[in-house]
Structure 1
């Protein structure tokens, strides 16, 4: 761009010299004429010389190529400069008009214009980046406030409900002076639910400080078999495990929590059976859990791993939840150099695909 502008300037300067030479050929040259032309066309400095073509000092070679532009290096007080010369032949005379290219205000103005344009461009880029950054920060702050508001609402609701139930049942028991087994079981269930919520909240506060320093070799197949023993009485589980080694570096307790959350979600949302597939693919271990529950609407899938997000926004009392389970699952899987994806059409269950990549 700069080269193009400088080339345009040089062409513009040549045009000026041609016009000046033409005007000189029609006027009588004197000091006033020179000053007038210099100010009129803003060519500084301006040199004019009129040579008779019959001058014996002009060689035959110069006679053939005398008309047109030439450049010449000259020594000046400021150093080496380039002189642009235009020779115009008319009426047996050579009108020679020349100027120092680097000494013209036009070129200085072009440099200023380029500098201004570049500065303006950089300013606009910085302004745009700043706007994008501020907009992103503002959106993040806004999202944080929304999440905090949802968090406060969820915590209040989820803790208030079991506490209200416990309070009511205890008051009834005190009034009737009875404390039967059903009452104790109900109270125990509510206490367990409060403990579950507390454990999940504590995990969220610690997840950013989790690291891989305490990881050890574990067998993912052993974890699946343990969970099969734990949940096979609650839901029909079909295992499909290829005859391979499924060892990886990790924390067994955390992986048990992650996979347990997925199985419990299947049970919670109406699944009567779940297929668990464990296999190897090149550089990764693939674990697939597919149930026949009510599924997840497609439009909800992009948000399913967000903290405090629940598909059932109305908080159906038949389905207890805090919107933290899948967020915790993703955190644990990510910590183990893996990724998780949920597929569902909203009608025929949910398929969870977990990939653990071998660390190099």
Structure 2
């Protein structure tokens, strides 16, 4: 899992680096282009001012300070003889010259007026101090942003990796558990059938045992199919009476466990699928029975805009620290292989899926040896 976390982080860091590098490159390109245009504009202004001046330009230092061009070179060439197409000499050019510090690029602007060519020159690097400062600041900011994004990204990736790790852990447990759950009844059935064939008789007790094991296998496959389906729609939704569902389930389970009904004289009509809701509530009652409950209180009451279904039992309860995970697929509160209760953690996942489809909210309160209280809120029609 550490390898997965590291791989995800490296890929994330590479993608973020490329994005920031592209952004920084575009920013520097835009700044450089803007700087060059600004430098050219100032050379044009200087050349124009010199051309329009009636005095000889002798104080270049004043021009340098005025237009912030460092260094500045000006050359005025007066042509003794007129030249056709003199305008072809006008414009910008870049030349490379050798200086004491090495090669430098020189930007030259030639301006033509009144048979004169005014050449204004400057070394590009001598005017780029400010843009270099801006570039440095920009790079520093980009690096700082990169570190912040990496830090946040690492925490995010770490959370994702932990979720994946937990899912893989539950899947591994599920694969092991479902094999065990399916193998056990099949082994029992095989043994009993072999014994019946050997003895040449098949009594009612044997048939009931075989039927129970078959029903259990069928229950497992139905739950697996239900969860893998995941494409439930509301096309079969209609107005249903929640009280009728509770009464049907009371009749079904009252012989197996003591159930007390608290239902006010009111209408409990909601919009939904009767079969799915019966499955969800049935799963909750089955859980209570599985985990040692001797008595269940079922309350149905109506508020202004909600219908509340409360199921409270006196079973062994659930540790508080386990409550956030009980609706996860394949999750069991007791994951030890040495367990008395059959199942592999799909019942409550099915309940959650059904209730989500009905836009109903479920809340579970419990403590060890203090039973479980389940509250479900349905929207009124």
Work out whether the TM-score is over 0.5.
Answer: yes
Corresponding residue SS for 2:344? coil
Gaps of 5+ in 2: 1-57, 73-108, 110-125
Residue 165 of structure 1: how far off its partner (Å): 0.9
2:199 paired residue number: 176
Partners of 1:46 and 1:142 lie apart in 2 by 65
Matches within 5 A, 1:247-326: 247-315=269-337, 318-326=340-348
Gaps of 5+ in 1: 1-30, 48-76, 78-102
Partners of 1:256 and 1:120 lie apart in 2 by 58
Residue 144 of structure 1: how far off its partner (Å): 3.5
Corresponding residue SS for 1:209? coil
Distance change >3 Å, CA 317–CA 140, structure 1 → 2? closer
Matches within 5 A, 1:138-177: 138-177=161-200
1:52 paired residue number: none
TM-score of the superposed pair, with normalisation by structure 1: 0.67
Corresponding residue SS for 1:229? helix
Partners of 1:284 and 1:110 lie apart in 2 by 64
Distance change >3 Å, CA 295–CA 140, structure 1 → 2? closer
Corresponding residue SS for 2:212? helix
RMSD: 3.0
- Structure 2 counterpart of 1:230, from 248, 252, 261: 252
Distance change >3 Å, CA 349–CA 259, structure 1 → 2? same
**Alpha carbons 2:260, 2:298 under 8 Å: kept:** yes
Corresponding residue SS for 2:138? helix
Corresponding residue SS for 1:179? coil
Partners of 2:167 and 2:337 lie apart in 1 by 22
Matches within 5 A, 1:1-360: 45=70, 105-128=128-151, 130-132=153-155, 134-206=157-229, 208-315=230-337, 318-358=340-380
Partners of 1:169 and 1:181 lie apart in 2 by 12
Bigger mean CA offset, 287-296 vs 103-112: 103-112
Residue 264 of structure 1: how far off its partner (Å): 1.0
Aligned positions, number: 269
Distance change >3 Å, CA 140–CA 318, structure 1 → 2? closer
Partners of 1:275 and 1:314 lie apart in 2 by 30
Residue 236 of structure 1: how far off its partner (Å): 1.3
2:83 paired residue number: none
Partners of 2:149 and 2:354 lie apart in 1 by 39
Partners of 1:261 and 1:128 lie apart in 2 by 43
Partners of 2:227 and 2:259 lie apart in 1 by 29
Partners of 2:153 and 2:334 lie apart in 1 by 38
Partners of 1:348 and 1:140 lie apart in 2 by 30
Residue 133 of structure 1: how far off its partner (Å): 5.2
Distance change >3 Å, CA 130–CA 345, structure 1 → 2? closer
Partners of 1:125 and 1:213 lie apart in 2 by 48
For residues 70-106 of structure 1, give each alpha carbon's deviation from its aligned partner in whole angstroms, at most 9, with x where no partner exists.
xxxxxxx9xxxxxxxxxxxxxxxxxxxxxxxxx9644
For residues 260-292 of structure 1, give each alpha carbon's deviation from its aligned partner in whole angstroms, at most 9, with x where no partner exists.
011111111121111111112333211100011
Distance change >3 Å, CA 314–CA 242, structure 1 → 2? same
For residues 197-251 of structure 1, give each alpha carbon's deviation from its aligned partner in whole angstroms, at most 9, with x where no partner exists.
0110010111x21122221111111111111111111111111112322111110
**Alpha carbons 1:154, 1:308 under 8 Å: kept:** no
Partners of 1:345 and 1:177 lie apart in 2 by 52
**Alpha carbons 1:241, 1:278 under 8 Å: kept:** yes
TM-score of the superposed pair, with normalisation by structure 2: 0.64
